[in-house]
Amino acid sequence: MMVQLQAKSLACQRGGRAVFSDVNFALSSGQLLELRGPNGSGKSSLLRLIAGLGEPVLGEIVLDGGSADLTIGQQAHYAAHQEAIKSPLTVAENLEFWSDFLGGGDLDGALAAFDLADLAQFPAALLSAGQKRRLSLSRLALVPRLLWLLDEPTLGLDQASLERLMQLLRGHLSGGGLAIIATHAALALTADATIVLGAAR
Amino acid sequence: MKLIWALIRRDLRLATRQGGGAGTAIGFFVTVIVLLPLGLGPDQALLQRIAPGALWIALLLSVLLSAERIFQSDYEDGSLDAMALGVVPLELVVLAKASAHWLTTALPLAIAAPLFGFLINLDPQAIPPLGLAMILGSLFLSLLAALGAAITVALRRGGLLVSLLILPFYVPCLIFGVAASSNSELIGPSLLILTALVLAGLVLVPVAAAAALRAYLK
């Protein structure tokens, strides 16, 4: 099944200030889009717009070929800087909640995806920043979703985890998924398209 | 339904791990009730007359104490973003969070409150109707607390604002809650009105609170 995500002349404002305008892209199944640009250029804002956690002042985002009765956000994973981790709960309990809440998922697979099985019974409060990031990213492997929106996912990851992320991403794309990554780092994967957002005005 | 239960179960787990929910609220409640006779003097007749009202006011304030936190941590750590992308509508998320607040904070308080009535010479006959009214009323209090918390979710130190926004809406609950326990003829009608308040809250609060949360997420 061919899926296409299209953005047509998107413009975004935050607090009355224009962040970006006239952003266009078309992304099909199996493609990776890279967002680049200096701090404050609107990479995160663009990801939030696509997830439906914001409204563009101009333009529109259309998903062709996905589930008709779900919004784009409901078919997407949005991995942001805030990691949505509850520190009093253990790693497994954190994942278990998201698995239940998102409608059932592969708990063991998610733990294995970022090598967290040994830490499963650990309270999340004791995790390091990198481990928290891994826990947050393992949601990607927990529940399959069509579109991945990743906001600087490589932040704080060690080399091994970085490779696991790339492997996961490769699997997702070859399975017909779509991914948009905002990053400053050089990725091991070649993006099918790159959008460079302008400097903050 | 299973999805909602997952959220309620997580919140219950968080409340038991972190403490601070029911414990703090009951501690605050008891402190107020203990201080009251010290401030008013040992006039037993006076204390008996004001006991139901005093217990209710202490209950309202104790529930408000924890109201601010209902959505705050989920908003700050990004859970709310992720929940907004779930298949569960935010309205049901609100309902689940309010239920969890009720189960962890307001309900234990409502059950314990009449028992502390002996500290201020509450008429023992008033305990059953007062308890019943408080259990009903506490659900309404939790629902409104969730609404206040949703409206102020992104505001640092929003606690005072929650109180100002929500306390006026607590008035009917206070009036009929006290009426149920101070006049035996009014028990039936008062409990009916409290039930009506709870039902109205169950319908209106999720819609209003979800709208507020959406506005913040945008």
Instruction: With cut-offs at 50, 70 and 90, classify the pLDDT of residue A200.
Output: very low
Cβ separation A83–B77 shorter than 8 A: yes
Determine, yes or no, domain membership for A61.
yes
d(CA B162, CA B155): 10
Q: Are B162 and B95 in contact (CB under 8 A)?
A: no
Global pTM value: 0.88
The predicted-structure confidence for A138-181, as pLDDT tens digits, reads as follows: 888 888 888 999 998 888 888 998 999 999 999 999 988 889 99
Across-strand partners of A77? A148
Q: Are A72 and A66 in contact (CB under 8 A)?
A: yes
d(CA A96, CA A84): 13
A143 to chain B: closest CA residue: B86
Q: What angle do CA A95, A98, A103 make, to 5 degrees?
A: 125
Token pair 């490769």 in the structure block, residue = A170
Q: What pLDDT, on a 0 to 100 scale, did the predictor assign at position A193?
A: 82
* Phi, psi dihedral angles at A46 (to 5 degrees): -65, -45
Q: Is residue A107 over pLDDT 50?
A: yes
Structure tokens at A161: 């985890």
Determine, yes or no, domain membership for A201.
no
Q: Residues with Cβ < 8 Å from A28, sequence gap 6 or more? A: A2, A3, A4, A5, A178
Q: Is residue A1 over pLDDT 50?
A: yes
Cβ separation B82–A88 shorter than 8 A: no
Q: What pLDDT, on a 0 to 100 scale, did the predictor assign at position B147?
A: 94
Per-position DSSP letters for B128-143, written without gaps between them? HHHHHHHHHHHHHHHH
Cβ separation B86–A74 shorter than 8 A: yes
Comparison of pLDDT for A65 and B129, the residue scoring more: B129
Tell me how close the Cα of A51 comes to any Cα of chain B, in angstroms: 8
Mean pLDDT computed over A115-124: 86
Determine, yes or no, domain membership for A96.
yes
Instruction: With cut-offs at 50, 70 and 90, classify the pLDDT of residue B140.
Output: very high
Q: Is residue A199 over pLDDT 60?
A: no
All residues of chain B having their beta carbon less than 8 Å from the beta carbon of residue A80 are 78, 81
The predicted-structure confidence for B171-189, as pLDDT tens digits, reads as follows: 999 999 999 887 778 888 9
ipTM above 0.85, yes or no: no
All residues of chain B having their beta carbon less than 8 Å from the beta carbon of residue A103 are 3, 86-87
Q: What pLDDT, on a 0 to 100 scale, did the predictor assign at position B91?
A: 92
Cβ separation B83–A78 shorter than 8 A: no
Instruction: With cut-offs at 50, 70 and 90, classify the pLDDT of residue B204.
Output: very high
Task: Find the domain containing A13 and state its range.
Answer: 4-196
Domain ranges of chain B: 2-217
All residues of chain B having their beta carbon less than 8 Å from the beta carbon of residue A139 are 82
B75 to chain A: closest CA residue: A84
Task: Report the CATH number at residue A53.
Answer: 3.40.50.300
Count of domains observed in chain A: 1
Query: Shortest CB distance from B85 goes to which of A73, A85, A100?
Result: A73
The predicted-structure confidence for A24-71, as pLDDT tens digits, reads as follows: 888 888 888 988 888 888 888 888 888 888 888 888 888 888 787 888
d(CA A154, CA A182): 10
Q: What pLDDT, on a 0 to 100 scale, did the predictor assign at position A201?
A: 45
Tell me how close the Cα of B85 comes to any Cα of chain A, in angstroms: 5
All residues of chain B having their beta carbon less than 8 Å from the beta carbon of residue A81 are 78
Q: How many interchain CB pairs under 8 A, A with B? A: 74
All residues of chain B having their beta carbon less than 8 Å from the beta carbon of residue A51 are 81, 85
Comparison of pLDDT for B115 and B202, the residue scoring more: B202
